Chain A
Amino acid sequence: AQSVTQLGSHVSVSEGALVLLRCNYSSSVPPYLFWYVQYPNQGLQLLLKYTSAATLVKGINGFEAEFKKSETSFHLTKPSAHMSDAAEYFCAVSEASGYSTLTFGKGTMLLVSP
C-alpha cells in the first residue's frame, strides 16, 4: 500500500523568503511522485512530477522538488515566495506500474505575508 505524509498543515512565510513544504512517502514499489496546487474554489493543478528520470524536478511558477530515495522524501521548494503562491499544496504518490491510483496527502496551506 502507498501513502503520503505532509508535515505541517500550515506553513507561513514572508514574501521573498524560502518556501519549503515537506512530503514523505511510503511505497512498496518504485513510486511516481507529484505536487499539486489548489487555489480557493478551484480544482487541483499539477505543479511538477517525478517519474524515475532526474531526481531534481523543476515545475511551474519557480517550484522544484528533489526525490531522495534514502529519505523517502519529495520536498517542495521555491527560493523566493510571492503573494500569489498562497494556496494549498498536495503531495501525491502512485506506483510506477499498471493501473495505479493516485494517493494524496492531507495538504499544506501556504500563507504568504507582505
Chain B
Amino acid sequence: EAGVAQSPRYKIIEKRQSVAFWCNPISGHATLYWYQQILGQGPKLLIQFQNNGVVDDSQLPKDRFSAERLKGVDSTLKIQPAKLEDSAVYLCASSLGTTGELFFGEGSRLTVL
C-alpha cells in the first residue's frame, strides 16, 4: 500500500514570496491533515479536512495560509506572503476514521530567508 506522498521535500524562498505544498493521501482515507512542525517543537495542526469539507482550521493563519482539498483526495497548502517564522516542516497526514491513528508523509521542509 502506498503511503502519504508529499512534494516538494525541500523549498527555500525569500520572505514575502509564495510557496505551495502538495499532498496525496493514502487511497480511501477520508480525513486529511496539515501540521506545522517548527524545529524543537511538536507538530501543530493547521487544518483538518473530512472529505472536501474543513473540520478544523482554528490554528491556520488565514491572512497568509490557505489550503484546499479538491474532490476529496489531493490537497495543497499555500503560503503567501511567507514570513521568516514560517520556516518549518509541513507534514501531511491522513486517516481512515477519526480515532487519531494518523499516517504521515515525510514532510516538506521550508526555509524562509
Contacts and interface: CB of A to CB of B under 8 A. Distances in A.
Interface stretch (A45-53, A65-73, A77-85): A45-53
A43 B105 contact: yes
Interface residues of B, number: 24
Interface residues of A, number: 27
A40 B80 CA distance: 28
B40 to A, nearest CB: 8
Given A43-B4, A51-B99, A102 B42 contact: no
Contacts, number: 63
B50 A102 contact: no
Interface string A79-106: 0000000000010101010111111111
A45 B105 CA distance: 9
B107 A90 contact: no
Interface string B73-113: 00000000000000000010100001111111111000000
B45 interface: yes
Contacts of B103: 46
B5 to A, nearest CB: 11
Given A43-B4, A43-B91, A44-B91, A102 B102 contact: yes
B36 to A, nearest CB: 11
A89 to B, nearest CB: 10
Interface of B: 4, 33, 40-45, 48, 50, 55-56, 91, 93, 98-107
Interface of A: 4, 9, 32, 34, 36, 41-46, 49, 51, 90, 92, 94, 96, 98-107
Sorted from nearest, which 10 A-B pairs have the closest CB atoms?
A43-B104, A104-B42, A94-B100, A44-B104, A102-B100, A106-B42, A43-B106, A104-B43, A32-B100, A99-B55
